[in-house]
Amino acid sequence: MKNSIYCKIADDIRDKIISGELKPGDDLPSEAVLCSEYSTSRMTVRKGLSILSNDGYIYSIPGKGYFVQKPNYNKYTIFYSERNNLINDVDRIKLLSVDVVLPDDKLAANLCISKNRKIIRIRRLFYTQGDAMAYDLKYLIYQRGVPIIENELENATFPEMMSNRTSLYSLNKELVMYAKMPGEEIKELLKMNDEVALFVVEQKLYDAKDKPIGFGVTYFRGDYIKLHGVSQ
């Protein structure tokens, strides 16, 4: 029974916040009041308040107490997959080339390496129902002794490309998304005209120590992709 009291404290306060009974900036009852109200210990009360704090409902000011957090209306979780979106699914991938090259300034900066450090460049096309919908570039830091198996790279996701370099459970990913008009090379690859913009997704992968280990850029035809997100 004791283990469920802190959950009830968290649930009750959360319900009051969601219903509007408690508004952003309002102070919560003190720990002493909550101890008395729920006939429990200060440790149990703090455990319930910790749940609310971790979930973003409240915050604390030392010496003053707990307060209702103002919602962050500008924070969203975007659902992104190279292979699937709200309009199309990738049904075929064509491997164009796998090369060992030297990085330009942008790649060296994103991977935190010198311009003399070799990288592996993987070029692919994504297709849906026979149409090329995206031009995909992936860059991995070259490691001597780590084999490059083209058959495995052709259909691998970006994290899967790292499976022989680091644990997939330790990977962190950063995304940057923007629109731009296509250059001649991409217009030719994706059979585009000047009326359609690209939707560009840059991905950076980090290991458990937050060290960059991979960088990717996927150029989607703007008329072949649609994403969605939900507020947090």
With a cut of 80, say whether residue 11 has pLDDT above it. yes
Q: Are residues 135 and 107 in the same domain?
A: yes
Torsion angle, alpha carbons of 150, 152, 154, 158, to 10? -120
Average pLDDT over residues 192-216: 92
What pLDDT, on a 0 to 100 scale, did the predictor assign at position 19? 92
Which phi and psi (to 5°) does residue 26 adopt? -65, 145
Binned at pLDDT 50, 70 and 90, residue 217 comes out as very high
The parent domain of residue 199 ranges over 77-231
Q: Are residues 216 and 145 in the same domain?
A: yes
Q: Are residues 60 and 91 in the same domain?
A: no
Average pLDDT over residues 211-219: 94
Domain end call among 68, 91, 106: 68
Average pLDDT over residues 73-95: 87
Average pLDDT over residues 77-82: 86
Whether the Cβ atoms of residue 38 and residue 196 lie closer than 8 Å to each other: no
What pLDDT, on a 0 to 100 scale, did the predictor assign at position 121? 96
Q: Are residues 116 and 215 in the same domain?
A: yes
The CATH number of the domain where 204 resides is what? 3.40.1410.10
What's the number of domains the chain is made of? 2
Task: Give me the residue label for tokens 């409240």.
Answer: 58
The CATH number of the domain where 8 resides is what? 1.10.10.10
With a cut of 80, say whether residue 33 has pLDDT above it. yes
Whether the Cβ atoms of residue 187 and residue 135 lie closer than 8 Å to each other: no
What pLDDT, on a 0 to 100 scale, did the predictor assign at position 1? 42
Q: Are residues 193 and 93 in the same domain?
A: yes
Q: Are residues 96 and 171 in the same domain?
A: yes
Average pLDDT over residues 29-33: 94
Q: Are residues 81 and 179 in the same domain?
A: yes
pLDDT digits (tens, 9 = 90+) for 132-164: 999 999 999 998 877 777 888 999 999 888 877
Q: Are residues 43 and 20 in the same domain?
A: yes
Domain end call among 68, 87, 114: 68
Q: What is the mean pLDDT of the chain?
A: 90
What pLDDT, on a 0 to 100 scale, did the predictor assign at position 2? 44
Average pLDDT over residues 82-87: 86
